[in-house]
Structure 1
Amino acid sequence: MSEVRHIVFDIGKVLIHYDPEIPFSRLIPDEEERRWFFANVCTNDWNLEQDRGRGWEEAEAELIALHPDREEHIRAFRRHWHEMVSHAYESSVAILEVLIDDGHDVTMLTNFAADTFAEAKERYTFLKRPRGVTVSGEIRLVKPDPAIYAHHAESFGLEPSATLFIDDSEKNIAGAKAAGWQAVQFVDAETLREDLRRVGLAV
């Protein structure tokens, strides 16, 4: 690995927890029914389109037309979103803040709907500390599309080969590497500390 001068963090499942099961275990108590709902109604692919910039009104209308009997649960996805991001990963946040405090160039690149990111930023104020963030829902591109890595690098003046990306998703890590970035897959904070030490960043 070459010298690292830029560190780019993903957010969900790296800095803050995300789990739709939290509210829906209450809203749809039956586990089998809940599994069916996430596999067939409010799917990951459906939610990704909000990360790509589609508005919630359009997203809900599309599903309600297909599943009118599930309207209440479909609308509950956005209504109870705040419960899904239940807590920050304090150990990871500590690493982020040490890197910033030590003068390293830290930015964030996230698949996130624009409106829910605005909420998250007010709730988890450490998200305001890095130099900047690329939010997929604001630019209508999602990881691992090569264009989002190029956009982020250009927006923040990053040299790809000197950029280290941290993300929990194997697909997104592969996308970053294809863009010429260095990248490590987030597993937990201690593993991240070891990964950072290997590239000369003591935290």
Structure 2
Amino acid sequence: MTTDIRHIVFDIGKVLIHYDPHLPFSRLIPDETERNWFFANVCTHDWNIEQDRGRTWAEAEALLIEQHPAREEHIRAFRKYWHEMVPHAYDDSVAIMEGLIAEGRDVTMLTNFASDTFREAQARFPFLNLPRGVTVSGDVGLIKPDIAIYETHTKSFGLDPAATIFIDDATVNVEGAKAYGWNAVLFSGPEKLRSDLTAYGLKV
């Protein structure tokens, strides 16, 4: 590829840090069938993504508790034990990002993340403060793969879309970035990421 990449944009969850809501809930709801039912019917992905869009946890909890009053303790546990859902960083991915920053590359981050939990993550994982900046979905009221969030990030950080590459673990978000005009690669592990970035002329 001959594309001149000047801007590298990282997703965070499942690219730089691990995320798995089953970690605390395997203790709170030991029965796997019941736990899967809970995530499919109560604290669903669609419910959680609205906190990424900016809805407060108080509003989110109240909504579900009204619908599932017997599940109040487990509903409140989602935010209460959120820290257990993000137990560690992906050191190899972080090393790639830090290496790009160290050689003077323009690195930013674009993430679907609730505002408060992102600040908690920044405090726990200091490397999240190293890039030039971040667009947090919960702060701007937009979520990937909405084209508007890529546009917002581009304008906020003065990026040239054709000279930008985005790294995300979700195919739908990668396709959204491409639809906006960015280059984008699907993250499946650090070695593949190194290969993909090298193909775009970035030495990592």
Say whether the fold is shared (TM-score over 0.5). yes
Structure 1 counterpart of 2:160: 159
Residue 197 of structure 1: CA displacement? 0.5
Structure 1 segment 1-203 matched on structure 2, within 5 A: 1=1, 2-203=3-204
1:86-144: CA deviation from partner (whole Å, max 9, x where unpaired)? 10000000000000000000000000000000000000000000000000000000000
Q: Secondary structure at the match of 1:76?
A: helix
Partners of 2:4 and 2:64 lie apart in 1 by: 47
Partners of 1:180 and 1:140 lie apart in 2 by: 21
Q: Gapped runs of 5+ residues in structure 2?
A: none
1:58-85: CA deviation from partner (whole Å, max 9, x where unpaired)? 0000000000000000000000000000
Compute the TM-score of the two structures, normalised by the length of structure 2: 0.99
Q: Gapped runs of 5+ residues in structure 1?
A: none
Identity of aligned residues (%): 69
Residue 166 of structure 1: CA displacement? 0.1
Partners of 1:180 and 1:58 lie apart in 2 by: 35
Aligned length: 203
Compute the TM-score of the two structures, normalised by the length of structure 1: 1.00
Counterpart residue type for residue 124 of structure 2: R
Q: CA RMSD in A?
A: 0.4
Show structure 1 runs of 4+ deviating over 6 A: none
